[in-house]
Amino acid sequence: MKDKNYASFIITNINSKESYKKLETYILNKFEYSEIIILYNKNTNIEKLKNELSPKSDNVLLLNLGENYNEDMNIKAGLEFSKGDIIFVLKDLNIENMEEYLDNLYEENKNGIDLCSLIFKYNTFKDKIFNLLLPNINNAYDLYFLCTRRIINAISECGNTNIPISYIIRNLGYNYSETTYNNKNYKLSQKNRGIYLLLYYQVIYKITLRISIFCSLVALGGGIYSLILKIFKFQIVNGWASTFTFLSFCFTFVFLIFSIIIRFLGLLFVEVNSMPIYKVIQINKL
């Protein structure tokens, strides 16, 4: 018996006709009411795509996002146009055992979870640096995620549109679960990996702030050390302690000022760019 929930499936990339057919068959067999939303740019030939896919579903929607196509931000366009009670977002259809993972996500949702994700973990030296400086960002990439209508409503109220959708939906306050895709042969493109790394200014700000704190501690330590030498009347080279302390304090203030400037420039950047970078140019139905 088919499920009565209305399910929306948002696809950011169709790898092949076979992968699409496999997904479509799964959807039609699983849900009584469903829609498929495909995101594409102006270079996509609609007629060619229609002939290649030959969809069996009578509810396949194409969103033309123009030249300014960005996978992460344009997912929000798909979410806004979706009508389902539950929404699946699929970034790669060439996942082994795709149907099994989708079933697992849906079962998690039926158990009361508002956000269920299939994640792929990646670990490089650069990623570990980001994790060290921004530990609240999970070093993972959402291959699939399922969210409820409550999540969509909460996203629409979030005005900050230049933060990755994966980061936003995890910080809305709703409960979520994660399943890891452990295929070690799976590799993300540099473009896809870069989407998830949160604004670089936050990392630079934290680096300069920590250097400032370190310099202040060095200055404090140098001052205490020179004071001890002075009290016990040790013979020291004239002027070295005061010069050392002075330079440490200088570095402290320089890096502190840098961190403040970077912080406020970053916030200004966020405000200037707090508008959707996607724009739906055309809507077609296959």
Out of 34-38, 102-106, 154-158, 170-174, least confident range: 154-158
Q: Could you tell me which of 47, 48, 24 has the C-alpha nearest to residue 37?
A: 24
- Report the C-alpha gap between 226 and 247 in whole angstroms: 14
Give the highest mean pLDDT range of 51-60, 135-144, 226-235.
Answer: 51-60
Alpha helix (H) residue ranges in 54-189 = 71-81, 98-110, 125-133, 149-156, 165-170
Contact between 78 and 65 (Cβ < 8 Å):
no
Q: What pLDDT shows up at residue 65?
A: 75
Long-range contacts of 192-195 (CB under 8 A, 24+ apart): 192/71, 192/91, 192/141, 193/122, 193/141, 195/70, 195/71, 195/72, 195/164
Most confident of 149-153, 186-190, 220-224, 257-261: 149-153
Overall pTM surpassing 0.85 (yes/no):
no
pLDDT at residue 10 in the model: 94
Q: How far apart are CA 67 and CA 62, in angstroms?
A: 15
